[in-house]
Amino acid sequence: MYAQMVKSTGKGIKSREEMTDEERQFQDRVDADEKIEPKDWMPEGYRKTLIRQIGQHAHSEIVGQLPEGNWITRAPTLERKAILLAKVQDEAGHGLYLYCAAETLGVSRDELMEKLHSGDMKYSSIFNYPTLNWADIGAVGWLVDGAAIMNQVPLQRTSYGPYSRAMIRICKEESFHQRQGYDIMMKMAFGTEDQKKMAQDALNRFWYPSLMMFGPSDKDSVHSAQSMAWKIKINTNDELRQKFVDQTVPQAEYLGLTVPDENLKWNEETGHYEFTEPDWSEFFEVIKGNGPCNKERLGARVKAWEDGAWVRDGLMAHAEKKAAKVAAE
Amino acid sequence: MSTEWPLWEVFIRGQHGMSHRHVGSLHAPDAEMAIKNARDVYTRRNEGVSIWVVKAADIAASSPSDKGPLYEPSQSKVYRHPTFFDIPDDVGAM
Amino acid sequence: MTRDEAFFEFLLRMGDNTLILGHRVSEWCGHSPVLEEDIALANTALDLIGQTQMWLGLAGEIEGKGRSADDLAYLRDAWDFRNVLLVERPNGDFGQTIMRQFLFDAWHSLMLGRLMQSSDTRVAEIAAKASKEAAYHLERSADLVVRLGDGTAESHARMQAALDDHWPYTGELFLSDAADKAVAEAGLAPDPASLKEEWDEMVTRVLTEATLAIPEGAYVHKGGKAGTHTEHLGYILAQMQWLQRAYPGATW
């Protein structure tokens, strides 16, 4: 997902007997679906895990601007250009909302940026894949945003108030993203032979990386169990992946495209599709920095930040001068 | 490292004459730019007709540990709510 | 040149300015100095793209050959583009982008203000919508010019350099040719030269507040309005038009 493999800090879930009074009260509030707010008492592990998760989510939004932003200047019509620009702009907005949510936990946006730039914090593996043809813009909206929505919709109910509110706003804005992606896919899949080829090529390349977005199976992970107890993770990775496949396969069929999985088949008994797991060794390589675009993506972020330093400083200096002038009057 | 722009809380009044509502936060070097940024960030979908910004550091907030004393006493004042009173149906709308 | 030929020419100039500048500004998306600014720049670019659709849409209508706004944007070669050279200049650093924007916005808002009085109601309507957007663009770009001009020593130096670079390209905004004269006579649009004085005043006021010095040279780079562009436009079009050119007849 946008926040993959976030490790909680504890070694496992404490039993009620092991918890302190504060921890027990906290867990009771979470269990009762009460929202935790910034000034409320919270376990240190909860705070740290949330900073990692929200931070990683925010980083994914702004790094996620890059593969799509790639195509803004090449969009084939004025309307497509406007739609794509509006969409990539939304992602900047989503990054902004999430950074602000993280800041309520006592970390600054600049600190988070530095951690992204130094590689201490990660972003979703999916954005290290290239967008090579125009149908990729369709595929990103359809598959990548589709996968993201699977995770974000339940996160609207997450226990941390500012995170929950950011997700509500994001989901509201995000609803057009997947549709515009599918709309591009329809134009391509029902278009000329060349366009069909682009559409199939895009699906071939984005299918497995999209499945990887949910992260490796976490049914035995103590970190995930803790995060689920804290309600900062709502479903297991496998649940969401299955839901995504079940939803997406018929959509691919409607387009007349072939999902690149020979073992894909409907299982009447379970009511779900059977599918091939993505190559997890590839996933771990991408996370380590060996994806096709890791260097470009991070490089672009670092460059934007460094090149922009004089602007941020200049604007701050002017504001301080003005404030000093007002104070002197 | 340079100084980070301060954080501002943004309040927007929507189309229908409601009160300003907290919609989120952003960074800006001063109030004037915070309003412009709020316009660009938080009204992209025609959400508002008026913007307030307040420096986050300037907000005084109640403490969560006072929650009991601050808010629970009002729970017992049930007579403040219209549903407390039984008015016969024959009386009509009230 | 007939009235409609001049009118068409004028509409291309308006639409190509916003098309090319919108394209340039959109290049910042994902690369701006700070998230708030990234979002603001995208808003400006989106406004400009929207205006392009209106101007070029009307241009196609006036031309009467069945060309849509997209046909005009994606299927003309550089010599048929009528934007001023200023808007095709590369983004450079953030200061150069904002200075270019400010110099253009100041002209644009004056022009659109006058066009609201156009004898053609379609022009007046487009101008009415666009002028609100341009007024905000100007407010923002002028504000940034002042803040960065009067910020740190480095931001000041960069803004002065940006002004020095762009300044010789501003004169083209006020040059009049036969087409300009014809549309002015028809009451469709003002003579560009008539905007100069107000622009000078406005720009001088802002630059002075920004503690920036207006360059002395009077040399004017020109040619864009007549289709002779800088080398930059060819690259812009190569990117922008590539899909339409490589796959003719496809719908997107």
ipTM of this predicted complex?
0.97
Q: What is the pLDDT of residue C82?
A: 98
Subunit contact B27:A109, Cβ cutoff 8 A? yes
The tens digit of pLDDT for each residue in A24-48 reads: 999 999 999 999 999 999 999 999 9
Comparing CA positions, the residue from C229, C242, C193 lying closest to residue C79 is C229
Q: Looking at beta carbons, which residues of chain C come within 8 Å of A74?
A: 239-240, 242-243
Given C33, C50, C93, which is nearest A82 (Cβ)? C50
Query: Rounded CA gap, B27 and C143, in Å?
Result: 17
Q: Looking at beta carbons, which residues of chain B come within 8 Å of A89?
A: 44
Query: Rounded CA gap, A212 and A240, in Å?
Result: 11
Q: In angstroms, what separates the C-alpha of C143 from chain A's closest C-alpha? A: 10
- The amino acid sitting at A53 is Q
Subunit contact C23:A73, Cβ cutoff 8 A? yes
HSE-CB at A87 with a 13 A cutoff on CA atoms is 29
The answer for A 111-130 residues in CB contact with B (under 8 A) is 114
Q: Tens-digit pLDDT profile for chain C (252 aa)?
A: 899 999 999 999 999 999 999 999 999 999 999 999 999 999 999 999 999 999 999 999 999 999 999 999 999 999 999 999 999 999 999 999 999 999 999 999 999 999 999 999 999 999 999 999 999 999 999 999 999 999 999 999 999 999 999 999 999 999 999 999 999 999 999 999 999 999 999 999 999 999 999 999 889 999 999 999 999 999 999 999 999 999 999 999
Position A11 confidence tier, pLDDT thresholds 50, 70, 90 = low
C145 located within any domain: yes
Cα separations (Å) of A255 from A132, A187, A199?
Answer: 20, 9, 9
Query: Rounded CA gap, A23 and A26, in Å?
Result: 5
Pick the residue from chain C with its C-alpha nearest to A90. C39
C48 located within any domain: yes
C113 exposure class (CB count in 10 Å sphere: 0-12, 13-18, 19+)? middle
Identify whether the C-beta of residue A267 lies closer than 8 Å to the C-beta of residue A274.
yes
Q: Give yes or no for B35 touching C (CB within 8 A).
A: no
The answer for C 168-227 residues in CB contact with B (under 8 A) is none
Identify whether the C-beta of residue B25 lies closer than 8 Å to the C-beta of residue B9.
yes
Comparing CA positions, the residue from A134, A150, A149 lying closest to residue A68 is A134
- Domain limits for position C163: 3-246
The answer for B 36-55 residues in CB contact with C (under 8 A) is 36-37, 40-41, 44
Subunit contact A79:C152, Cβ cutoff 8 A? no
pLDDT, averaged in runs of 10, over chain B (94 residues):
86 87 95 96 87 95 74 78 82 82
Q: Looking at beta carbons, which residues of chain B come within 8 Å of C141?
A: none
Query: Rounded CA gap, A193 and A183, in Å?
Result: 17
Q: Looking at beta carbons, which residues of chain C come within 8 Å of A73?
A: 23, 26-27, 236, 239-240
Q: Looking at beta carbons, which residues of chain A come within 8 Å of B38?
A: none
Pick the residue from chain A with its C-alpha nearest to B34. A319
Comparing CA positions, the residue from A151, A162, A158, A167 lying closest to residue A229 is A158
C233 located within any domain: yes
Q: What is the pLDDT of residue C176?
A: 96
Subunit contact A110:B45, Cβ cutoff 8 A? no
C251 located within any domain: no
The dihedral built from the CA positions of residue C204, C209, C212 and C213, taken in this order, carries a sign that is positive
Identify whether the C-beta of residue C107 lies closer than 8 Å to the C-beta of residue C195.
yes
Sequence-ordered alpha helix ranges (H) in chain A = 21-31, 44-63, 65-69, 78-103, 109-118, 135-139, 146-155, 161-189, 193-212, 222-229, 237-255, 280-285, 294-307, 309-328
Q: Looking at beta carbons, which residues of chain A come within 8 Å of C93?
A: 307
Long-range contacts of A29-33 (CB under 8 A, 24+ apart): A30/A159, A30/A229, A30/A230, A30/A231, A33/A157, A33/A159, A33/A231
Query: Rounded CA gap, A46 and A184, in Å?
Result: 41
Subunit contact B41:C140, Cβ cutoff 8 A? no
Q: Looking at beta carbons, which residues of chain B come within 8 Å of C35?
A: 27
Query: Rounded CA gap, C3 and C6, in Å?
Result: 5
Structural domain tally of chain C? Answer: 1
Subunit contact B40:C143, Cβ cutoff 8 A? no
The tens digit of pLDDT for each residue in A230-246 reads: 999 999 999 999 999 99
Instruction: Report the CATH number at residue C158.
Output: 1.20.1260.10
